[in-house]
Amino acid sequence: MPEDIERRFAATLRELHREPAQPRLTFEIDGRPVGSVTEADARLLADAVPGLVLEDDVLGLVPVCATDGRPVLEAVALALREAGRCSRWRNEPLPVLADDGSLVGAVERACARVLGIRTLAVHLVGETLDPDGRHGFWLQRRAAHKDTDPGMLDNLASGLIGMREDGRDAEPPALAMSREVAEEAGLGPETTSPLTRVGHWRIHVPVPEGLMVEDVIVFRARIAPGAHPRSVDGEVSEFLHVDATALLGRLDAGELTLGARLAQLACLR
């Protein structure tokens, strides 16, 4: 079994990085790369947003505006929405991070893949242990109305890290994970063991909206006997409890999202 898990895990890691078929141009703020855009979107934004300049295959802020990235990011999002380049608008700001991890600003979630910004996601592998010592796992089925991977199986809870309420910084990963567990599965700290951070991996793949660059932060926790997750925010159509054999069968059948496969295999290793 361990060798089979390692083989599956290695195959999943190979899927985490694929280059887009269409070349993309660097998107910079204050001289620091924060994402990438197609040439058509770069020209659109350079024309629509004061302070943005397209030069030498780089879309960036002119120096006089470079210290004021937040209003420009808001204008970028509005320009993309006006041009019909965004997915469903959520009024949900996501942190925009430079390569060194420093916060540059925030941008509407609907624009994240168009701009190729690096998003941060948290995933919880919810494990169980019955009195006979048999291990089990809670999975969720994503609701049919989800923009990404509708109807596919996912981890017990997962979601993107947003901004703190004061808008000054990104949520800490553990706080974001606890929030998602409560919102998606209706579970609180009284029904789960303390979160254990397993690791993080980067996904870099083309998607219909543009480019998905996402750091997946994986946690695991033991779910208390008798605790049953329930959909709270309407993002989940059902929860399933499976053993390891059934989990691997569904994984091999392609029923799990890429992030879920990564997280589950990382915990099974």
Could you read off the pLDDT of 150-163 as tens digits, one per residue?
Answer: 999 999 999 999 99
Percent of all residues in the chain with a pLDDT value above 70, rounded to a whole number = 97
Amino acid in the structure at residue 190: E
DSSP bridge partners of 160: 121
Average pLDDT over residues 7-18: 95
d(CA 37, CA 150): 25
d(CA 253, CA 221): 25
Question: Both tokens of residue 149?
Answer: 């991977």
Amino acid in the structure at residue 164: R
Inform me whether the pLDDT recorded for 64 exceeds 70: no
d(CA 128, CA 138): 8
Residue indicated by tokens 């397209």: 54
- This prediction has a pTM of 0.93
Inform me whether the pLDDT recorded for 204 exceeds 50: yes
Residue 31: its pLDDT value, please?
Answer: 86
Inform me whether the pLDDT recorded for 144 exceeds 70: yes
Average pLDDT over residues 98-104: 88
Please, what is the angle between helix 244-252 and helix 2-14, to 10°?
30
Domain regions of the chain by residue span: 25-115, 119-268
* CATH C-level class of 119-268: alpha beta
Residue 132: its pLDDT value, please?
Answer: 83
Q: Assess whether the region 25-115 and the region 119-268 belong to the same CATH fold.
A: no
**9-13, 42-46, 88-92, 244-248: which range is least confident on average?**
88-92
Enumerate residues 6+ apart whose C-beta is below 8 A from 176. Answer: 120, 122, 159, 160, 161, 162
25-115 maps to CATH 3.30.1360.120: no
Residue 63: its pLDDT value, please?
Answer: 59
Could you read off the pLDDT of 208-230 as tens digits, one per residue?
Answer: 999 999 999 999 999 999 899 99
Residue 101: its pLDDT value, please?
Answer: 87
Inform me whether the pLDDT recorded for 199 exceeds 50: yes
End-to-end CA distance of the chain: 9
Give the number of other Cβ atoms within 10 Å of residue 68's Cβ: 14
Q: Do residues 247 and 8 lie in contact, with contact meaning Cβ atoms separated by under 8 Å?
A: no
- Mean per-residue pLDDT of the chain: 93
- Reported as a pLDDT band with limits 50, 70 and 90, residue 66 is very low
Could you read off the pLDDT of 74-89 as tens digits, one per residue?
Answer: 999 999 999 999 988 9
Q: Which residue, among 20, 63, 19, 26, has the nearest Cα to 41 in the 3D structure?
A: 26
- Reported as a pLDDT band with limits 50, 70 and 90, residue 1 is low
Average pLDDT over residues 143-155: 94
Inform me whether the pLDDT recorded for 68 exceeds 70: no
Q: Do residues 38 and 46 lie in contact, with contact meaning Cβ atoms separated by under 8 Å?
A: no
